[in-house]
Amino acid sequence: MNTASSGDRPEQLERRLAQALRENEALRSKLLHAASPSDTETFDHDVMESLSEGFALFDADDRLQLFNSRYRDEILPELADIIEPGVPFQTLVREAFERGLWDGIHQNLDQVMTKAMARQQGLPSVAELAFSNSRWIRQTKRRTSSGGVVAIYADITEFKQREQAFGESEERHRRLMQTLPDAVVIHSGGKIAFVNPAAIDLFGARSHTHLVGRSSLELVHPDSREDDSRRAHQVLAERRILPPVEQKRIRLDGSTIDVETRSVFINWNGKPALLGVMRDLTDRNQTQDFLRQSEERYRRLVELSPDPIHVTCGDQIVFVNSAGVKLFGADLAADIIGRSMIEFSHPVVHAGIRDRRRR
């Protein structure tokens, strides 16, 4: 039989599992703390049968003394024909293995028996047992005052299936993030917990190991840290998605890059986290700066030209240089911009201006 350690699991599954295991707590406590196997004659069988889990009591020689119907009919229905008072625990283990009940395809009987006896003797013990029919059982065992063993068995198949589905969904999302062209960074507990290949390239790292584990603010430019901290707090506190903003980041070589970043709340390994999606704007911003500079240089050249230059939209003047202002007899460009060219044209050409405007 394979066992799975408790480990980390999605937060919501833990809460539901804990709630299920707390059901009938008073009844379970009474059974788990049974005084001794000699209580079997006066034991309250109604209490035992009212449990929502399987119950079994073994004596100091590991022989089954008491059990409820859930243990026999729901937990181990495949062994119902041999489950009776006096059957040795080792016999139950051996029969379960030989009948293919346990998921022990990579184990032999000796290995299975050794693990089962360790759980029977190393008390208290809690284990999650995988059955070959895809069922999962959580087994809780304690020692009685007379040296026996009391055991509770809870079917946690539904929770394991949900856990598996959650893990598969998380893996699909992880694979999707790996293929995105935009940089994806997940922050959890104030540290970088995940980066995709695009993020590795964005920050100039050689692998994810050079980024994961760093402080979330370490690669944020000082000019953007206050805004970034405020947005992170808002995302985690309100569990929401924030619109994109432009910020600055620091690459591992110390250079600064401009990014557009989006912030989204997610659960990561069962904990609140922030998913940031970043797009490098450095090239775009540099291009825009170049165009602005080129436009400004062109404007200065036009403004300083000795020849009158004006620009119209339709028949409306939208730009005029200093030479043009003088040509039109005005003091300022503002006295001309917005007016019709017809006002400054000879009547002979008015018809031509109107014709061009109609076209």
Give me the CATH number covering residue 247.
3.30.450.20
For residues 135 and 272, membership in a common domain is answered with: no
Does residue 297 belong to any structural domain of this protein?
A: no
> What SS3 state is found at 101?
coil
For residues 270 and 322, membership in a common domain is answered with: no
Domain containing residue 120: 2-161
For residues 222 and 115, membership in a common domain is answered with: no
H/E/C letters for each residue in 221-290?
CHHHHHHHHHHHHHHHHHCCEEEEEEEEEECCCCCEEEEEEEEEEEEECCEEEEEEEEEECHHHHHHHHH
Task: State the pLDDT at residue 169.
Answer: 65
- Alpha-carbon separation of residue 319 from 302, 307, 313 (angstroms): 10, 14, 9
Does residue 35 belong to any structural domain of this protein?
A: yes
pTM over 0.75: no
- Give me the tens of pLDDT residue by residue for the chain, a chain 359 residues long: 444 444 444 455 445 544 544 544 554 555 555 444 444 444 557 777 878 889 999 999 999 999 999 999 999 999 999 999 999 999 999 999 888 887 655 578 888 898 889 888 888 888 888 888 888 999 999 998 888 999 999 999 888 887 777 666 666 667 777 778 899 999 999 999 999 999 999 999 999 999 999 999 999 999 999 999 999 999 999 988 899 999 999 999 999 999 999 999 988 887 899 999 999 988 777 777 777 777 777 777 777 788 888 888 877 888 888 888 888 888 898 888 988 877 877 777 667 666 666 66
Does residue 294 belong to any structural domain of this protein?
A: no
- d(C-alpha 237, C-alpha 231), whole Å: 10
Domain count, the chain: 3
Query: Which of 208, 162, 163 lies closest to 186, judged by CA?
Result: 208
Q: Which uninterrupted H or E stretch holds 170?
A: helix 157-179
- Residue pair 142/155 in contact (Cβ under 8 Å)? The answer is no
- Residue pair 196/183 in contact (Cβ under 8 Å)? The answer is yes
For residues 153 and 8, membership in a common domain is answered with: yes
For residues 331 and 192, membership in a common domain is answered with: no
| DSSP for residue 216 | T
Q: Which uninterrupted H or E stretch holds 153?
A: strand 149-155
For residues 8 and 144, membership in a common domain is answered with: yes
Does residue 290 belong to any structural domain of this protein?
A: no
For residues 20 and 143, membership in a common domain is answered with: yes
For residues 116 and 9, membership in a common domain is answered with: yes
- d(C-alpha 71, C-alpha 78), whole Å: 11
For residues 135 and 32, membership in a common domain is answered with: yes
Task: Give 169: exposed, middle or buried? Use CB within 10 Å, 0-12, 13-18, 19+.
Answer: exposed
Task: State the pLDDT at residue 41.
Answer: 45
Residues 6+ apart with CB under 8 A from 260: 244, 245, 246, 278, 279, 281
Does residue 77 belong to any structural domain of this protein?
A: yes
Looking at 102, 127, 161, which one is the last position of a domain?
A: 161
H/E/C letters for each residue in 289-357?
HHHHHHHHHHHHHHHHCCCCCEEEECCEEEEECHHHHHHCCCCCHHHCCCCEHHHHCCHHHHHHHHHHH
Does residue 125 belong to any structural domain of this protein?
A: yes
Does residue 346 belong to any structural domain of this protein?
A: yes
For residues 132 and 12, membership in a common domain is answered with: yes
For residues 197 and 124, membership in a common domain is answered with: no
- d(C-alpha 345, C-alpha 316), whole Å: 12
For residues 138 and 104, membership in a common domain is answered with: yes
Tokens coding 116: 């089962």
Long-range contacts of 343-347 (CB under 8 A, 24+ apart): none
Angle at CA of residue 113, ends 112 and 116, nearest 5°: 85
Complete edge-to-edge strand list for the sheet that includes strand 256-268:
191-195, 183-188, 271-280, 256-268, 241-250
- d(C-alpha 100, C-alpha 131), whole Å: 9
In the block, residue with structure tokens 């901290």: 229
- d(C-alpha 8, C-alpha 270), whole Å: 8
